[in-house]
Amino acid sequence: MNFIIIQGSARSDGNTNLIARILQEKLNAGFIDLKTKNINGYEYGYENMDDDFMSVIREIIKYDAVIFITPVYWYAMSGLMKNFFDRITDCLKVEKETGRKLRGKYLAAVSCSGDPDETEGFFVPFHNSAGYLGMHYLGDMHTWTDDDNTEVEPVVLERINAFVKQLKKERG
């Protein structure tokens, strides 16, 4: 199975990226940083179809599985990530053929914060979105780092290794 990681953080090289890069290496995954893309907010009239959203979706559908990784901002996914999820509506209303290509693919989610406690209900939007889109939910993982974003605690590395093993096991 081939993976792509979609990072949605206000900092391209912050703590979330540290976790994303570890996952990318362990899974030999593709990578997209939403911070580097021009993805506008959802519009009922679909006036934003000339931004980078559809090119990102077209890249995602080349892979078997997508891992969304986001920092925890105010107990929820980042604004960049939420904006991206809102735009998936474009694939249901305008670019339906592209949206249909998400069916049967796999989705996982990772959060990152400065606290080892997972925010209750954090992963519900990811799980429910996978179900709505006909994707298989591979699971989720909460991670944390310290402020210097240079090292990951051994307990977090163990967690990442277990998650990678789970992801690989789910598809053999």
Could you tell me which residue, 47 or 129, shows the higher pLDDT? Answer: 129
CATH no. of 3-171: 3.40.50.360
Q: What is the pLDDT of residues 121-152, one digit of tens each?
A: 999 999 999 999 999 999 999 999 987 667 88
Other beta carbons within 10 Å of 61: 16
CA distance 39 to 56: 9
Q: Residue 146: what pLDDT?
A: 81
**Mean pLDDT confidence for 40-58:** 93
- What Rg, from alpha-carbon coordinates, does the chain have? 15
CA distance 163 to 12: 23
Q: What is the pLDDT of residues 51-93, one digit of tens each?
A: 999 999 999 999 999 999 999 999 999 999 999 999 999 999 8
List b or e across 20-55, with b for residues whose CB sees 16 or more CB atoms inside 10 angstroms.
Answer: bebbbebbebbbbbbbebebeebeeeeebeeebbbe
Q: What percent helix, strand, coil does the chain show, rounded to 5?
A: 40, 20, 40
Average pLDDT score over the chain: 94
**Mean pLDDT confidence for 1-16:** 96
**Domain positions in the chain:** 3-171
From 18, 130, 2, 158, select the one nearest 141 (Cα to Cα).
158
Choose the most confident range, by mean pLDDT, from 26-30, 44-48, 153-157: 26-30
pLDDT tier at 170 (50, 70, 90 boundaries)?
low
**Mean pLDDT confidence for 150-155:** 87
